[in-house]
Structure 1
Amino acid sequence: MTVPENETAPARPSDTDLSAAHASVTLLERLADKLGGRASVTAVYGEPVTADGVTVIPVAKVAFGFGGGAGREVGAAKSGDGGGGGGGAEAKPLGYIEIRDGTATYRPIRDPWSDVVLPLAALVIGGAMPKILRSLRRRG
């Protein structure tokens, strides 16, 4: 099939484009390997601890993410290649498993905000609500 003279054929990726894409894929694979190997509960909180017949095993939510890209600028008097990437990991403690006398018990780590601040806020709002409703009725 031939292309009419007034139309241009779709651009094919050059060797430079393919090498930049290969470099991006390689970078992402290396990031995934490094982060995936290190993003664990043990890496953040350590090994389970045993003392006085009680074993404590930390429990956490571990997540990681990464991204990268490559680009090429081609145009009048402009040319260049570029690429980059990055990643990160997060570990949030959820609780621990306590093993005592052959019985395992999960103990959650409570968030002080939900234990103290939210009930206090509910009390303040609940105490102020009747006054607010009375003042709204007087206006109406």
Structure 2
Amino acid sequence: MDNMEKKTPLNDLMRSTMEKIHEMVDTNTIVGQPITTPDGVTLIPISKVSFGFGAGGGDYGKAAQNAQNFGGGSGAGVKIDPVAFLVIKDGATRVLPVAVPPISTADRVIDMIPDVMDKVEKYFDKKKEKEDF
């Protein structure tokens, strides 16, 4: 436990790298700022953020000179992928996915199911309105 509490050049290296990652990756990176179009539609971008981090180092030379003979390095990588947009129009919210185009016919059919269900629901709503009159 004493080793973890001591301040070493490696601790400083890791701390500064993590601070830089924190600056790049925050909640605004995942859920973006709303964008409002002139016709009143609000779009909110949603992203997936992945990151990796690594650090290492070592002391070289005599024990009395460790602080002067430190060698180390750190690195990090961040990947941001757009996932979807929340589309808000006339009080209704929909998710518009940003996806790779479907490869097979089965993929296309699966992707079409939500739109088909919306159309069927609207059809039955209109039919019910006509019957009520």
Q: TM-score, normalised by structure 2?
A: 0.59
Aligned length: 95
SS at match of 2:49: strand
Runs of 5+ consecutive residues of structure 1 not aligned to the other structure: 1-12, 121-140
Query: Does the 8 A contact of 1:70 with 1:84 survive in 2?
Result: yes
- The structure with the largest alpha-carbon Rg is 1
Query: Does the 8 A contact of 1:36 with 1:64 survive in 2?
Result: no
SS at match of 2:18: helix
User: Aligned Cα RMSD in Å?
Assistant: 2.8
Query: Could you tell me which residue of structure 1 aligns to residue 118 of structure 2?
Result: none
> Which stretches of structure 1, 4 residues or more, deviate above 6 A after TM superposition?
none
SS at match of 1:53: coil
Query: Could you tell me which residue of structure 1 aligns to residue 44 of structure 2?
Result: 57
CA distance in 1, matches of 2:54, 2:10: 9
Please list the CA deviations of residues 23-81 of structure 1 after superposition, one character each: whole Å capped at 9, or x if unmatched: 11112112112212212474599632101110001111012222211112448xxx943
Query: Does the 8 A contact of 2:29 with 2:47 survive in 1?
Result: no
Alignment of 1:1-140 (within 5 A): 22-40=8-26, 42-43=28-29, 47-51=33-37, 52-74=39-61, 80-112=69-101, 115-116=102-103, 119=104
Q: TM-score, normalised by structure 1?
A: 0.56
CA distance in 2, matches of 1:94, 1:41: 15
Query: Does the 8 A contact of 2:30 with 2:49 survive in 1?
Result: no
Structure 1 stretch 55-64 or stretch 80-89: which is displaced more?
Answer: 80-89
